[in-house]
Amino acid sequence: MSRVSRTPTPHRGRRRWCDTPEDRSEPVTSTQDDQPTGVPAPAPVGPLRDLMYGHIHASALRAVVEHKIADLLADGPRTAEELADRSGTRADPLRRVLRLLAARGLFHEEDGAFTLTDSGTALRTDVPGSQHAPVLMFTDEMFRLAAAGIPGAVRSGEPGFDAAYGCSFFDHLAAAPDKSRLFDAAMTSRPGTVNAHITDGYPFPDSGKVVDVGGGRGGLLRDLLTRFPGLTGVLYDRPGTVAEHLLDAPELEGRWSTEGGDFFTAVPAGGDLYLLKNVLHDWADEDCLRILGAVRAAMTPGARLLVIDAVLPDDGTPHPALDLDIVMLMVLRGRERTAADFRMLLDSSGFRLNRIAETPSLSSLIEAEAV
């Protein structure tokens, strides 16, 4: 930003800071000075402005989440002064941040008081599918620095995270327990309807053993065992992750076990159905082949594998997982894949791709069979 004289001066043929047709409320007329004959009109800047200000919106969002402003609005409208008093913040900057986020549809301001919109309600910590933890994770320094490294990733192909931290994302989590807990909480906080779409969208057997490979704290396995009481299950992930599992419910007693290990080398054997939910997109093709190879080695012919991941259209059609594909670029060596990509990985690992079914959520259900 440049210094601006306090005394307005006449100007012709010049535009001031943010003085564009999209930014001004008054009509804009063209003059010979403003728009010389034969010169194309300036391109619209609205979408570009949203992109270049994106990090500002993300930081404003983090501010209200860190101070749990949404929780303070659970019982109804409050002024910025009331919210500041209860959150230990200052009213004026808080009001300005809330005003920005109101323009983005998370809050509503009326008569000097703020309320939550339906979208903003997801920021509360006490609602099903709370997005409090995911917001804290994706606006954490880890992701901000990784995103800043995208220009370098475009040149080198290496994740921006590795350049910023000198190690891989998962190695960093292993050495930083607080970040690991944040990651696990964010993964667990995904809306419960996502698991419902999975349990509704696939014909799970009435009996048998399910092995959830890379299953985190076991949210999906818990829902499966609850929905299908004839199933048993094994939760398999990093030892520190499975130690904080979500399976210890009375109605599931005796029907589950946990194992910690490395899915690159081996996974529990003897399962009838293996799950890989949001695992393969974290990894490059060569790593996916190692994971799938370990899974296939644990399976008997005819056993089923259910891969739960986004499937990108192969014709360039916009898809919500395109954002996530860039997260993979900046943080890991993974990627979102097309149906042809998944078929190649599965064919190369001793599987036959049977079918792909879309769900109302981001992910599709990719069923394969061990051959």
pLDDT in tens, the chain (371 residues): 444 334 444 444 444 444 444 444 444 444 445 556 667 777 777 789 889 999 999 999 999 999 999 999 999 999 999 999 999 999 999 999 999 999 999 999 999 999 999 999 999 999 988 999 999 999 999 999 999 999 999 999 999 999 999 999 999 999 999 999 999 888 877 656 789 999 999 999 999 999 999 999 999 999 999 999 999 999 999 998 999 999 999 999 999 999 999 999 999 999 999 999 999 999 999 999 999 999 999 999 999 999 999 999 999 899 999 999 999 999 999 999 999 999 999 999 999 999 999 999 999 999 999 99
Q: What local confidence, expressed as pLDDT, does residue 292 receive? A: 98
Q: What local confidence, expressed as pLDDT, does residue 187 receive? A: 83
Give the pair of three-digit tokens for residue 352: 């036959």
| One-letter amino acid of 299 | M
Residue 212 neighbours by CB under 8 Å, 6+ apart: 218, 220, 221, 233, 234, 235, 236, 275, 277
End-to-end CA distance of the chain: 63
Q: What local confidence, expressed as pLDDT, does residue 34 receive? A: 56
Residues annotated as catalytic (active site), given as ranges:
281
Identify the architecture of domain 53-125 in CATH. Answer: Orthogonal Bundle (1.10)
**Centroid of chain to Cα 367:** 23
Residue 87 neighbours by CB under 8 Å, 6+ apart: 67, 68, 69, 72, 94
Q: How far apart are CA 284 and CA 169, in angstroms?
A: 14
Listed residue (111, 113, 172, 110) closest to 141, CA to CA: 172
All structural domains of the chain with their residue ranges:
53-125, 136-187, 193-370
Would you tell me how many other CB atoms lie within 10 Å of the CB of residue 326? Answer: 15
- Contact (Cβ atoms closer than 8 angstroms) between residue 215 and residue 274: no
| pTM of structure | 0.80
Helix (H, G, I), strand (E, B) or coil at 352: strand
Q: What local confidence, expressed as pLDDT, does residue 128 receive? A: 85
Look at the alpha carbons of 323, 324, 328, 331 in this order and tell me if their dihedral is positive or negative.
Answer: positive
Q: What local confidence, expressed as pLDDT, does residue 276 receive? A: 98
Listed residue (309, 291, 297, 292) closest to 349, CA to CA: 292
Q: What local confidence, expressed as pLDDT, does residue 193 receive? A: 75
CATH T-level topology, domain 193-370: Rossmann fold (3.40.50)
